[in-house]
C-alpha cells in the first residue's frame, strides 16, 4: 500500500467524504440505515449530509435508478479502519454480492480522506472514478462550491463543467452508479 499524507497531519480528527448509493427497494430505508450505523462508528461524527439525488444506473442499465447521497465525516479512524467499517456497515444493511454495476441494497465509497492519497488493491483515495461521475461532483459541491481535489488541487466545479461540456458534445455518458 502506498500512503501519502499531503498535509503532514495525523489522522486524528481527519475529514472524509463518503458516497452512499442504493437502488434496491426500499432505497430510502437502506440509505437511512447506513447513515445511522455510520453515525455510531467510534470516534466518528457525521457533520453534513447532502440532499439525496436520483441517478440513472451506469454500465448495466436494466435496473432501477440509484438514490445517492454524500456524507462529510470527522473521524479518528485511519483509512483502512474506515474501509473496514464501511464494508461492515454494508453487510449490516444487507448488501448482497452482485455482478459489476449490478443492483445493490447499499454501496458506500470513500471519496476523500482529508488530503491523503492511498493506493492499494483494496482501497484508492481519492476514489478512482469520482472525477468522471457528474452526480458525485454535484453532491460534493453542495457541501462547498469551492471544493478542490485534495491531491491535484483542481476545482471540482471546473471538472463538472468539463464533464457537462463533454456530455453536451456526446463524448461522455452522464450519470454513473452509486
DSSP state of 130: G
Supply angle C-alpha 166, 152, 137, rounded to 5: 45
- The residues near 115 (Cβ < 8 Å, ≥ 6 apart) are 5, 6, 7, 150, 151
DSSP-H helix ranges across 41-130: 79-93
**What positions carry a catalytic annotation?**
95, 104, 107, 109
Q: 92: Cβ–Cβ under 8 A, 6 or more apart, which residues?
A: 33, 37
3-class SS string, 14-39 = EEEEEEEEECCCCHHHHHHHHHHHHC
Q: How far apart are CA 113 and CA 17, in angstroms?
A: 7
Amino acid at each position: 500500500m502506498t500512503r501519502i499524507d499531503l498535509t503532514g497531519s495525523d489522522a486524528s480528527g481527519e475529514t472524509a467524504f463518503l458516497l452512499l448509493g442504493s437502488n434496491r427497494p426500499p432505497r430510502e430505508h437502506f440509505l437511512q440505515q447506513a447513515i445511522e450505523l455510520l453515525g455510531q462508528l467510534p470516534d466518528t461524527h457525521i457533520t453534513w449530509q447532502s440532499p439525496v439525488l436520483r441517478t440513472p444506473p451506469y454500465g448495466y442499465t436494466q435496473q432501477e435508478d440509484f438514490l445517492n447521497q454524500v456524507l462529510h465525516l470527522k473521524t479518528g479512524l485511519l483509512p483502512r479502519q474506515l474501509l473496514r467499517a464501511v464494508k461492515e456497515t454494508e453487510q449490516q444493511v444487507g448488501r448482497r454480492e452482485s455482478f459489476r454495476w449490478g443492483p445493490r441494497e447499499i454501496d458506500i465509497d470513500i471519496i476523500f480522506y482529508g488530503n491523503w492519497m492511498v493506493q492499494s488493491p483494496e482501497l484508492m483515495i481519492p476514489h478512482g472514478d469520482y472525477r468522471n461521475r457528474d452526480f458525485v461532483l454535484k453532491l460534493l459541491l453542495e457541501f462547498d462550491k469551492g471544493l478542490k481535489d485534495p491531491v491535484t488541487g483542481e476545482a471540482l466545479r471546473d471538472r463538472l463543467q468539463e464533464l457537462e461540456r463533454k456530455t453536451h458534445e456526446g463524448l461522455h455518458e452522464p450519470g454513473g452508479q452509486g
